[in-house]
Amino acid sequence: MSLQYLWSGIVETIAVCLVTMTLLGMAVLPGVAVMCVFLPLQYWMGLIVAVRKKKLSQVSTKRITLMEEIMRSIKLIKIYGWEASFFQNLNAIRAEESSLLSKINTIQSIVYGLIFSLPPIVACAVFGTQEANGSIEAVVVFTTLSFFNTLRVPFSKLPKSLRDVLDSLAAMERVQDFLLEPELHPELAKDNGVEVDEKHKGIVFRGAYFSYGKGAKNVLVDINLDIPQGSLMMVAGTVASGKSNLLKSILGDLTVSGGKCTESHSRAYVPQTPWTALGTVRDNIVFGLPYDENFYRQVVYACALETDFKLMADSDQTWIGERGGNLSGGQKQRIALGKFV
């Protein structure tokens, strides 16, 4: 909707200049000179506002991300007394955001001030020249002023259209960057040129390196791992030793930056904090798949949910509230486990 104002304003300005030239002759040239200075100035200031708004969007994203982290970890922040540190970081981002917003508002005020001062300035230049060369009729004055006043609309739309167009380009770039992100390794063997040994069913890492994206610093270095299918393994270590990153590497959430990795079987993940969707217990177990009575009963038995169904008012048709608030921790865990069985 805003794109057309980038060119229609120029066309409308030329049309007004030609019409007023038929009324006043060459006396309109000083007014044309004023508009030739004003129009590029409008484009330039509109570009400045658009660039600053793009930077403001990036700073606002940082603030929103930090606020989301604070809200998600508010319990830990209060327990460990980290409020001052987080407030310091947050206030620094807010100060930068406020400074950018102030500069944008200042430039916009100047732009709108120039927009409403343009018709009187052009009129003074044109009528002053006409009066210096001879007399001027009142009919011509009012007709010319009405034409000049029509330029307020395209000139006021011009900076906004520049901002809108650049905002849309920035939004498309962000969507494009997201859609063109490299896929995480659904099949590690193919990504690393390693042929999976059909006789060995399990997870094998040989001198593997993992990072959070291409070119990023490696968070796991020279990992050697061999987990046969059906075996039980526990990972122990000190705080920040890489246990969670090792789990993410197995799940495929990290980028393989070196070494050989093979996974010859499908993966399932049961988080420490179970997740339940808004709906009935059966909906959470079936989870969009076709309902198979026999298989469903096997899942219920395997997850030890039969006793829970007897305790629930509506058995497996019991409605699960927001975040499973009406379930115990064990019930949530067993229902969440049922999604993957």
pLDDT at site 193: 45
Check residue 322 and give its pLDDT: 67
> Which of 179, 211, 241 lies at the terminal end of a domain, its last residue?
179
Of 179, 194, 212, the last residue of a domain is 179
Q: Say if residue 167 is in the same domain as residue 299.
A: no
Q: Both 235 and 139 in a single domain?
A: no
- Would residue 117 count as lying in a domain? yes
Q: Output the pLDDT for position 199.
A: 54
Q: Over the range 38-57, which residues count as b (16 or more CB within 10 Å of their CB) and which as e? A: bbeebeebbebbbebbeebe
CB atoms under 10 Å from CB of 119, counted, come to 20
Whole-angstrom distance, CA of residue 121 vs CA of residue 35: 10
Please tell me the total count of domains within the chain. Answer: 3
Q: How far apart are the first and last CA of the chain?
A: 51
pLDDT by residue for the chain (341 residues), tens digit each?
777 777 877 788 788 878 888 877 777 788 778 877 877 787 788 778 878 888 888 888 889 988 988 888 888 888 888 888 888 999 999 999 999 999 888 988 888 888 778 778 887 888 788 777 777 777 777 887 787 777 777 777 777 787 788 778 888 888 998 888 766 655 454 444 444 455 557 888 888 888 887 777 888 888 888 888 888 888 888 877 888 888 888 887 888 888 888 777 667 777 777 877 888 888 888 888 888 888 888 888 888 888 888 888 888 888 887 677 777 888 888 888 887 55
- In this prediction, residue 183 carries a pLDDT of 66
Residue 12 belongs to what domain range?
A: 5-179
What is the per-residue pLDDT for 10?
78
In terms of pTM, does the model score above 0.75?
no
Point out which residues pair with 256 in neighbouring strands.
210
Tokens of 206: 């040989």
Quick one: residue 235, left, alpha or beta (phi over 0 = left, psi -120 to 50 = alpha)?
beta
CA dihedral (102, 107, 108, 113) in degrees, to 10, reads 130
Q: How far apart are CA 334 and CA 328, in angstroms?
A: 10
For residues 142 and 243, state if they share a domain: no
Burial class (CB in 10 A: 0-12, 13-18, 19+), 284: buried
Domain assignment present for 31:
yes
190, part of any domain:
no
Structure tokens at 324: 């499973």
